[in-house]
Amino acid sequence: MHQQRGRAVRHGAFGGLITGDLFTFGNVTTYALVGAEVQGSNTALQGGLGLRYGIALLPVEAYVEVGAQRISTALQPIIGPRLAVGVNYRLNVATLQGQIPAPWCSRTAPPTSTRAAPPRRAS
């Protein structure tokens, strides 16, 4: 915040990103992103690739994003690299139903052998 002719001027930022998952390898997911942001009176466009790591039972995930951004300023557009590292809180935690094998219960019969009985000797 700075003073301009006796009054305070605030510069905020607001924006959003759209991501699309590309590949998933265990707990690691790669994704593409594109977004836009308003920074004070300037606009910014950004795009790139990201890598996200999360464990299904925990509602947090870590991410790294690399890409490029273009900020439109009053003088000229500025194009440069973009790097973001952080931690997100997830509202949707994956369900593990069907992913964990059923436990061995004593009520179920043990597996039977399919081998034939040995031949009997003639007496």
pLDDT tens over the chain, length 123 residues: 444 555 555 667 889 989 999 999 999 999 999 999 998 888 999 999 999 998 878 888 999 999 999 999 889 999 999 999 999 887 765 555 555 555 555 555 555 555 555 666 665
CA dist., res. 123 & res. 119, Å (int): 13
CA dist., res. 8 & res. 83, Å (int): 31
Angle in degrees, CA 28, 18, 12, rounded to 5? 115
CA 60 to each of CA 19, 36, 66, 93, 94: distance values in angstroms, whole numbers, following the listed order: 17, 24, 20, 9, 12
Amino acid at residue number 12:
G
- Of 22, 84, 94, 19, nearest in space to 54 by CA: 94
SS3 call for 8: strand
CA-based end-to-end distance of the chain: 106
